[in-house]
Amino acid sequence: MALLTLQGISKCYQQGELQVNALNDINLQVEEGEFAALVGPSGSGKTTLLNIIGGLDTPTHGRTLLNNTDITGLKEAELSNFRLFQLGFIFQAYNLVPVLSALENVELVMVLQGRSAEEKRERAEHYLQLVGLQDVMQRRPSALSGGQQQRVAVARALAAGPRLVLADEPTANLDSENATALLDIMHRLSHEEKTTFIFSTHDPRVMERAERIITLHDGKIVSDECHQRHDEPTV
Amino acid sequence: MSKPHSHLPLTILFMLAWRNLWRHRRRTLITLTSIAIGFGLAVLFIGIGDGSHNSMIRNAIKLGEGHITVQPKDYLQAPANHKYLSDGLSLSAKLNELNVTGSVAARISLQVLASTASNSVGAALEGFRSNSDQRQAMLQPQLIEGNWIEAGDHRGIVIGDGMARKLKAKIGSKVVLMAGKQGGDSQAQLGRVRGIFDSHVDELDDYLILSDLQFAQYFLAGEGAIIEQAPVTRFAVFLDDPDTMAYWKAQIKSVIENDLVVALDWQEMMPQLVQFIIIDDVGNYVFLILILIMVVFGIVNTVLMSVLERTREFGLLRALGLGRQHLLLLVFCETLLLSVLAVIIGWVVGGGTHWWFSQHGIDFSALMPEGTAMMGTFMDPVVYTELSWDRVTQLTIIIFVTTLLSGIYPAIKAARVTPVEALRT
C-alpha cells in the first residue's frame, strides 16, 4: 500500500468576494522511499498541497491517507502529534529556533517525541555529521550561513525518524553551490534512510535530482513523470 | 494503548523561556527597570504610610489607654464617673500574676468641671501613678511651664496650655474640680497647677487635666469606693512587643473578664483612629493600583511584542508538533520568569529605598507647619518607613500575581497561532 494517498483533494479560498480554487480534484499516490518533486509556476498550488499533505491545512474536499491514517479526520491535537512522529518539515526560510544552537534545534523535535537524552544527543550529532556540520553544532542560527542553516533543518527533519519529509522550496534562498550540496545531501539521505521526500520547487537543479516530477498548474496535476535518479553528488 | 503525544520537559521549557526573555536584552531590561522603579515607589509609599500610621498608633497608645485596656464593661459605650473597678487591688494582683511582658498602669478617668475665678470649662481628669506611666513619658517633655507632679503630690495638677488660657490659670493657680455623682449630687476637690504642657494636640491641650492617682481617687471615694481597695477606672496594659497583643488579650480576658469587667484592645478603644487609618490605607492602595496599571502595561507590551514578532516561529513550532498547550506554557513561563525577576529587582530597589528611609527617616515638618496632630493623636514629624512581613508578603504577591496575569493574554494569543497562517507571515 502507498505511503501517501490523496483522494479528490480540493481547496478553495475566499479572497474578498472572489473564490480561489487553489487545488482542484488532486489524486495522487506516493510510495515509500520516493524522492518526488512538486513543480509548477508560482500560484499553481504546490505549497497548498504540501500543507495539506503535512496536516498544516485542511482540504475543502477529499481525503489524505498517510501511513494508513486518514489525517483529514484528525482533531487538531491528534494532527499535531501525527506531525511530530510521522512527518519532517524543511521550509524555504530555514526556520530554525534562533535561541537554540544547531545541536539543540536538531534535538528539539526528539525532545517533543520524548526520546531519552542519550538517544537524542546521539542522533542529533549523527545527523549533523551526515550534513557536514559537526564543527558548528554549538553555534546558534545567527552564526551560521544560509546553506548551513538549511542543512540543520534537513538534519532536524531526519533525526526525528519521520516516514515522510516535506520540503517547501528548500533551495529557494540558497546560492547555486549551497543548493547543489543540499540536494545531494537530501538525495543521499533519502537513499540511505529509505525516507520519502516530497519537495516543491521550480528550481531546475532540484528537478534534475528528482526521481518523480509531479507538475501542477492552476491547482491541477498536469503531468506525473518518473525520472532516472541522478545518482551521486557532483561535488 | 495510549497514543504517542508530545512532551516538553520543564527544564527545556524554562531554558527556552529564559533565552527568549533575553532575546531583546535592552527591551527586557527597560521593562524590568520600569517595574522595579514602580515597585520601589510602591514600597516607599506603603512604607511611609505604615510608618506614619504606626507612629500615630504608638503615640495614641501611649497618650491613650495602652495596647489593652481593662475597664468596666459598659464604660466605652457610656462613660460615667460612677463606673469604676472597685477592687483595683485584686485585679492588679491578677494582672501582675500573668507577668505581662510590658507594663500595667492604673488610671482613673473622670468628667469634671474645672473652675477658676475667671472661668469654668469641661475637662477630663486623668489620675495616674506619677513616675511610672507612659503618658507621663509622652507629655513631660512637652512641659512649657512649671514642673511635673511629684509622687505623693495629692493636690498637684498639670494642664494643657489651651486650658490654661481658658481658665487664665498660671503655675500655682488654684483650680476647683467639680464632678457629678450618681444620683445627681456633685463633689469638688481643689487642685493646684504645677505645670502646663503644650502637646500640639488640641484635644489634649484644651481638655486634659493630669493628676496623681490618689487625687482622683478622692472623687471615687465620694462615689462610695473604698480607698484601701485601690479603686480605678481602668488598667492600661503597655506591651513591649505589640505583635503579642492578641496573645496577651486572650490571657488577660481569661483571668479578669466577667460580667462587670472587660478587656479591650486599642482598636476597640479607638475605632475612629482605626477608621482613619483604613481610609488613609485606601489612598495608598489607589496609588499602588496606578503603579500596577503601569506594570501591567509594561509587561503586556514586552511579552505581546515578543509574541507578535515570533508568530512565524510559533507557526514553525506548531508545525513541528508542539501542542497549543505547550506554546501557551512557554509564553506563560516567559512571563513567570519576568515576574520573578521583576519581584527580585523590585525588592532590591524598593527594599533598599525602604531600608535607607527606615534608618534616616523623612522630615515632614516643613510640609506640615500647622503640626502633625490628627484624630486625637499626632504623627512624629520625622517618619521612618516601616514594612511588616505581612506587607512584604502582600506586596510580593500583588506584584507577582499582577505580572503573571499580564502574561495571560499574550500566552493565549501565542497559543492561537495556526501553523499555516503563521508560516505565511
A202: CATH: 3.40.50.300
The grid cell for B412 is: 493565549
Are B117 and B169 in contact by the 8 Å Cβ rule? The answer is no
Clarify whether residues B126 and B31 are in a common domain.
Answer: no
Clarify whether residues B206 and B287 are in a common domain.
Answer: no
Q: Mark yes or no for CB contact B322/A80 under 8 Å.
A: yes
Q: First and final CA of chain B: distance in angstroms? A: 39
Clarify whether residues B281 and B372 are in a common domain.
Answer: yes
* Beta strand A196-201 pairing with A164-168: parallel
The domain tally of chain B equals: 2
What values do phi and psi take at A189, rounded to 5?
-65, -35
- Provide the shortest C-alpha distance from residue B31 to chain A (in Å): 20
Lowest mean pLDDT among A101-115, B127-141, B231-245, B341-355: B127-141
Strand order in the sheet with A220-226: A87-90, A164-168, A196-201, A35-39, A212-217, A220-226
Clarify whether residues B48 and B98 are in a common domain.
Answer: no
Residue A39 covered by a domain: yes
CB pairs under 8 A between A and B: 75
Residue in chain A lying closest to B18 (CA):
A99
Chain A hits for B423, CB-CB cut-off 8 Å, are: 56, 91, 95
Residue A231 covered by a domain: no
Clarify whether residues B28 and B149 are in a common domain.
Answer: no
Residue in chain A lying closest to B4 (CA):
A81
The domain tally of chain A equals: 1
Q: Residues A70, A76, A81, CA angle at the centre, nearest 5°? A: 75
The pLDDT assigned to B301 comes to 81
d(CA B243, CA B101): 12
Residue A235 covered by a domain: no
Q: What percent of chain B has pLDDT over 90?
A: 23
Clarify whether residues B366 and B217 are in a common domain.
Answer: no
Q: Mark yes or no for CB contact B6/A83 under 8 Å.
A: no
Q: Please determine, for the modelled complex, whether the ipTM score is greater than 0.95.
A: no
Chain B hits for A85, CB-CB cut-off 8 Å, are: 4, 321
d(CA B153, CA A107): 91
Residue B19, chain A, CB below 8 Å: the answer is yes
Q: Mark yes or no for CB contact B316/A95 under 8 Å.
A: yes
Q: Mark yes or no for CB contact B3/A81 under 8 Å.
A: yes
Clarify whether residues B262 and B283 are in a common domain.
Answer: no
Lowest mean pLDDT among B107-111, B123-127, B254-258: B254-258
d(CA B316, CA B312): 6
The last residue of one of the domains, among B237, B269, B301, is B269
Residue B381 covered by a domain: yes
Residue A233 covered by a domain: no
Residue B45 covered by a domain: yes
Taking only the tens place, the pLDDT of each residue in B278-317 is 888 888 888 888 888 877 887 788 788 888 888 888 888 8
Chain A hits for B313, CB-CB cut-off 8 Å, are: 95, 97-98
The pLDDT assigned to A209 comes to 82
* Beta strand B102-115 pairing with B174-180: antiparallel
What are the C-alpha distances in Å from B338 to residues A37, B162, B215, B303, B396? 46, 58, 67, 9, 14
- Is pLDDT of B372 > 80? no
* B:278-307 residues touching chain A, CB 8 A cutoff: none
Q: Mark yes or no for CB contact A83/B319 under 8 Å.
A: yes
What residues make up the domain containing B135? 66-269
Taking only the tens place, the pLDDT of each residue in A177-233 is 878 888 888 888 888 878 899 999 888 877 888 889 999 999 999 999 887 654 544
What values do phi and psi take at A19, rounded to 5?
-95, 125
Q: pLDDT band for B335, please (50, 70, 90 cuts).
A: confident
- Is pLDDT of B381 > 90? no
Q: Mark yes or no for CB contact B4/A81 under 8 Å.
A: yes
Q: pLDDT band for A18, please (50, 70, 90 cuts).
A: confident
Taking only the tens place, the pLDDT of each residue in B187-200 is 889 999 999 999 88
The pLDDT assigned to B210 comes to 92
Q: Mark yes or no for CB contact B8/A111 under 8 Å.
A: yes
Interface mutation vs chain A, best among B2, B3, B6, B8, most A CBs within 10 Å: B6
Chain A hits for B5, CB-CB cut-off 8 Å, are: 77, 81
The last residue of one of the domains, among B219, B236, B269, is B269
Q: Mark yes or no for CB contact A81/B321 under 8 Å.
A: yes
Clarify whether residues B175 and B207 are in a common domain.
Answer: yes
**Of residues B42, B62, B60, B64, the one with CA closest to residue B52:** B60
Q: Mark yes or no for CB contact A99/B16 under 8 Å.
A: yes
Residue B181 covered by a domain: yes
Clarify whether residues B316 and B214 are in a common domain.
Answer: no
- Is pLDDT of A150 > 70? yes
Residue B23 covered by a domain: yes
Calculate helix-pair angle for A102-113, B311-320, nearest 10 degrees. 50
Residue B425, chain A, CB below 8 Å: the answer is no
- Provide the shortest C-alpha distance from residue B334 to chain A (in Å): 13
Radius of gyration of chain A, Cα coordinates, nearest whole angstrom: 17
Q: Mark yes or no for CB contact B4/A114 under 8 Å.
A: yes
Clarify whether residues B18 and B104 are in a common domain.
Answer: no
The pLDDT assigned to A216 comes to 93
For chain B, the farthest-separated pair of C-alpha atoms sits apart, in whole angstroms, at 105
The pLDDT assigned to B161 comes to 93
Residue B1 covered by a domain: no
Clarify whether residues B100 and B24 are in a common domain.
Answer: no
- Provide the shortest C-alpha distance from residue B35 to chain A (in Å): 25
The pLDDT assigned to A222 comes to 93
Residue B136, chain A, CB below 8 Å: the answer is no
The pLDDT assigned to A232 comes to 47
Enclosing H/E stretch for A187? helix A176-193
What residues make up the domain containing A153? 4-226
Clarify whether residues B189 and B323 are in a common domain.
Answer: no
